[in-house]
């Protein structure tokens, strides 16, 4: 299964403090909008999303169709195919993607320890 670019999406209390902290670790702002309380920080191939007030918990995020520079890749598994495969294995899907749609879509699953995994396709 080809899941695409991986990042951790963090629920932060103060996005400016978090931005400064991650900059001190060598990360740079890669994408996002500070005024809208989210930033994607990058250090080489490592991506960390900072999100203030958007969700309750931290998320493991995969972006089918993207590499770590948010460039479109040709060889990837569509989010709906990934969802269908996981469902066939008995994995419960949260916020299912419409399997009759095309293009951007997302869904989430929980691992056995309750960690949220977001599969979020932008293309």
Per-residue pLDDT, averaged over 59-69, amounts to 96
Question: pTM for this one?
Answer: 0.91
Residue 87's pLDDT is: 98
Q: Could you give the percent of the chain with pLDDT greater than 90?
A: 98
- With vertex at residue 75, the alpha carbon angle to CA 73 and CA 81, rounded to the nearest 5 degrees, is 110
Q: Is 63 exposed, middle or buried, given 0-12, 13-18 or 19+ CB atoms closer than 10 A?
A: buried
Collapsed DSSP state (helix, strand, coil) of residue 24: helix
What's the CATH number for 5-121?
A: 3.10.180.10
**The pLDDT of residue 114:** 94
pLDDT in tens, 7-47: 999 999 999 999 999 999 999 999 999 999 999 999 999 99
- 18 near 24, Cβ under 8 Å? no
* Domains in the chain: boundaries: 5-121
* The pLDDT of residue 80: 98
The Cα 43–Cα 54 span in angstroms is: 23
What is the pLDDT averaged over residues 76-95? Answer: 98
Q: What is the reported pLDDT for 70?
A: 94
DSSP string, 50-95: EEESS-SS-EEEEETTB-TTS-B-SS---HHHHHHHHHHTTPPPBS
């Amino acid at each position: 299964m080809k899941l695409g670019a991986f990042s951790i999406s963090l629920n932060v209390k103060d996005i400016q403090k978090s931005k400064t902290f991650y900059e001190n670790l060598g990360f740079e702002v890669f994408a996002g909008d500070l005024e809208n309380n989210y930033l994607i920080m990058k250090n080489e191939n490592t991506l960390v999303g900072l999100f203030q007030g958007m969700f309750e918990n931290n998320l493991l995020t995969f972006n089918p169709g993207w590499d770590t520079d948010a460039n479109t890749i040709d060889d990837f598994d569509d989010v709906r195919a990934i969802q269908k495969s996981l469902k066939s294995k008995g994995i419960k899907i949260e916020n299912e993607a419409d399997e009759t749609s095309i293009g951007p879509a997302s869904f989430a699953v929980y691992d056995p320890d309750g960690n949220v995994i977001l599969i979020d396709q932008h293309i």
